[in-house]
Amino acid sequence: MTQYIDVQDVAEIVQREGLPQMIAAMASYIESDYRDWKSFDKSARVASHSTVGVIELMPTANEALYAFKYVNGHPQNTFSALPTVMAFGVLADVGTGFPLLLSEMTLLTAIRTAAMSALAASRLARKSSRSMAMIGNGSQSEFQAIAFHSMLGIREIRLYDTDIEASQKLKRNLAAFPGLEVTISQTAEHAVRGADIVTTVTADKTNATILRPEMVEPGMHVNAVGGDCPGKTELHPEVLSLARVVVEYEPQTRIEGDIQQMPADFPVTEFHQIVSGAQPGRTSEQEVTVFDSVGFALEDFSALRYLRDLGQRHGVGHELNLVPTLHDPKDLYALVRPGSSQSGVIDKGSKVQAKAALA
């Protein structure tokens, strides 16, 4: 049987584990998989664009497991009481193709994106970083703030969003973290001034210039999360020219990231090169660094792998009869044979044996 973990299941796991602890543990799973970079199938995600948004499939696999995520991005969804981003994912056994896990990934993606951002910043930001500006205060902003507070020791966050209610919402939610000072800025310029780290996580599908070169200071690390599809950027091109730019998977980021604005030979470093030691992390206190993050399938693979482990540990989730399990695997017709009463389905004991064989 396929393990099924829904939204409430993930929320329950977060309550049991604690969100900061989950973010740190997921970052560890992601880092482990980046160390194993060469063993993964890699491709840019498959995207279906429309005038109002995008729907994407994000697949990857190693020798043992296959994973994919279905995810959308529709900035106007909030006017229809729907999330801007919605997602689900599958983890399957490569040896048989059997789907081991079907899971919600809207909440899980917010957690894995925050984990990836903090993981990259742990290599690229100054170790002394204690302040961050957060430009864009929507549904992923709490996760980003908590990740940087818990993993990097950020103590001060200045918020800016064109929607003041979004900033007020974020400030209320972060009040549960007494070691974190949160203020709302009236302009992006004010929020960014003097910040060690700048996180941009806006939703509009447009070539925006959230961060301009005059706003960048020596030693700053930019965590650019919101530019994640063709025609959607957040950084002025000169900001990229000033910085050392790190990406997840270069062929995908050239299409979807902020570097889509740059020449094809614009130099970038893939994150796995830093994890493996082939390239250094931050090279000086004065270096400006940019993590041009668009989200990569390997990170979803890590998230699903981690969630499967957590679901089994906590006994959370449900068994789902997603694919038939038959007495005779060549006799699918047995399920619909007149008068069969589904006699072709194997009994529960045999299902347990089949499940154990795939574990």
Segment 75-100, tens digit of pLDDT: 899 899 998 889 999 999 999 999 99
Same CATH topology for 2-107+299-324 and 121-295: the answer is no
* Residue pointed to by tokens 């301009």: 212
Q: What confidence score (pLDDT) does residue 341 get?
A: 64
Indicate which residue of 9, 33, 161, 228 is catalytic: 228
How far does Cα 193 stand from its chain's mean position?
A: 27
Q: What confidence score (pLDDT) does residue 231 get?
A: 85
What the block records as the tokens of 288 is 């400006």
Q: What confidence score (pLDDT) does residue 356 get?
A: 45
Q: What confidence score (pLDDT) does residue 312 get?
A: 95
Q: What confidence score (pLDDT) does residue 357 get?
A: 43
Global pTM reads 0.92
Residue type, 287: E
Phi, psi of 31 (to 5 degrees): -60, -40
What the block records as the tokens of 29 is 């799973």
Helix (H, G, I), strand (E, B) or coil at 79: helix
Contact present, 120 and 148 (Cβ < 8 Å): no
CB environment 260-299: b (16+ within 10 A), e (fewer):
bebeeeeebbbbbebbeeebebbeeeebbbbbbbbbbbbb
96-to-42, 65, 99, 192, 358 alpha-carbon distances in Å = 21, 10, 9, 51, 8
What the block records as the tokens of 44 is 């840019």
d(CA 188, CA 198): 10
Q: Which fold has domain 2-107+299-324?
A: ornithine cyclodeaminase, domain 1 (3.30.1780)
d(CA 180, CA 270): 31
Q: What confidence score (pLDDT) does residue 349 get?
A: 47
Residue numbers in the chain where pLDDT is lower than 70: 205, 341-359
Q: What confidence score (pLDDT) does residue 73 get?
A: 87
Long-range pairs for 139-143: beta carbons < 8 A, 24 or more residues apart? 139/83, 139/84, 139/85, 139/110, 140/85, 140/110, 140/113, 140/114, 140/201, 140/225, 141/166, 141/170, 141/201, 142/170, 142/173, 142/174, 143/19, 143/23, 143/110, 143/111, 143/113, 143/114
d(CA 91, CA 67): 5
C-alpha distance across the termini of the chain, in Å: 11
Contact present, 201 and 132 (Cβ < 8 Å): no
d(CA 238, CA 31): 30
Q: Is 93 a catalytic residue?
A: no
For the chain, which residues make up each domain, given as ranges? 2-107+299-324, 121-295, 325-359
Q: What confidence score (pLDDT) does residue 2 get?
A: 96
d(CA 327, CA 340): 13
d(CA 68, CA 48): 16
Contact present, 289 and 269 (Cβ < 8 Å): no
Domain boundaries 121-295, CATH class:
alpha beta
Q: What confidence score (pLDDT) does residue 353 get?
A: 43
- Residue by residue, DSSP assigns 205-234 as -SEEEEE-GGG--TT-EEEE-S--BTTBEE
What the block records as the tokens of 190 is 């004010």
